[in-house]
Amino acid sequence: MPELPEVETVVRYLRPLLIEKKLHSVTVPTHYQNALHGISAEHLSRAITNQRIADVKRRGKFIVLELDTAFLCIHLRMTGRLLLGTLGAEQAKHVTATFNFCDGTSMHFKDVRKFGRIYHYTDLKPLDRKLGVEPLSSSFTAAQCAAFFGNRSRMIKPLLLDQAFVVGIGNIYADEILWASQIHPARKASTLMEQDFKNITKHTKKILRASIQKNGTTFQSFYYGEEASGAFVDFLQVFGKTNSPCLRCGTIIEKIKLAQRGTHICRQCQPPPDSYC
């Protein structure tokens, strides 16, 4: 499940391979048209013809291909992968779009669950409108957190997952950040103290950076390139550790359901909200 570190890993892998390539066309099988957001395959193909890839960047969980006069943005959602080169019959299954380059090579968007989306924008305003602060930027501070979370009645975990405030955090890293910060995911944001915000920002940056260093977390299906997987799965402290002892205190990790999301907690290290009332 690609979150910020996984998307960053993909971007770092793709950047040197794609920069300066020139797009020729994109082909989308007729039954996969909704892989494209708000644009037809014909229109998109015409729009990108002869466009050079000037840069490959990341904004939140979006991969941003900066073209000469437009932006091609790709969201992998759950199972999206970008594969370069020619694919065998087995590999070509679930390919919802293929970008053809002028040099005859191509890049395939393979997406088993079909939730991934491709966007074509003339500028990045539509992205910036809905996306909040980059957690690894200097503007993600405890003070910013306090300003945004301080008067909210929502639970802290769904707020961390809300891309409108801080981007890039998904289910895995939200659980890791809250365990490291020793905050129960169901705590109302307005009940958090200054120290909690300091912990959240500190651990968010630390965990995301550490994961990027390990090329992300391959939990179920994250790969970049052919079969390269991320190694951060070996460093996860709570996610996927149901019924294992907490690495801090030995209490058995529980998996609960919170706002429709599987959530891993240590009841000892992350005291439930009612113990604050």
Nearer to DNA, 153 or 275 (CB): 153
Nearer to DNA, 152 or 202 (CB): 152
170 binds DNA (CB under 7 A): yes
Instruction: Characterize 17-29 residue by residue with b for buried, 16 or more Cβ atoms within 10 angstroms of its Cβ, and e for exposed.
Output: ebeebebbbbebe
30 binds DNA (CB under 7 A): no
The number of residues that bind DNA (CB under 7 A) is 28
| Residue 252 and residue 243 in contact, taking contact as beta carbons nearer than 8 Å | yes
Dump the DSSP string for 82-145: EEES---TTTTTTEEEEEEETTS-EEEEEETT---EEEEESSSHHHHHH--B-TTSTT--HHHH
130 binds DNA (CB under 7 A): yes
| Residue 1 and residue 111 in contact, taking contact as beta carbons nearer than 8 Å | no
| 3 belongs to the catalytic site | yes
Window contacting DNA (CB under 7 A); options: 45-53, 81-89, 113-121, 245-253 = 113-121
Helices 4-18 and 194-213 pack at an angle, to 10 degrees, of: 40
Instruction: Characterize 232-254 residue by residue with b for buried, 16 or more Cβ atoms within 10 angstroms of its Cβ, and e for exposed.
Output: bbeebbbbbbeeeebeeeeeebb
**Which tokens go with 90?**
């087995």
DSSP secondary-structure letter at 191?
G
Nearer to DNA, 80 or 181 (CB): 80
Distance of closest approach, residue 180 Cβ to DNA, in angstroms: 18
Distance of closest approach, residue 35 Cβ to DNA, in angstroms: 9
29 binds DNA (CB under 7 A): no
105 binds DNA (CB under 7 A): no
78 binds DNA (CB under 7 A): yes
Q: Which of 100, 144, 163, 237: binder of DNA (CB under 7 A)? A: 163
Q: Which of 149, 121, 161 is nearest to 3 (CA)?
A: 161
Catalytic residue among 52, 77, 188, 261: 261
- Chain positions contacting DNA, by CB under 7 A: 1, 3, 34, 61, 75, 77-78, 94, 112-115, 130, 152-155, 158, 161, 163, 170-172, 257, 259-262
- Which residues are the active-site residues? 2-3, 61, 261
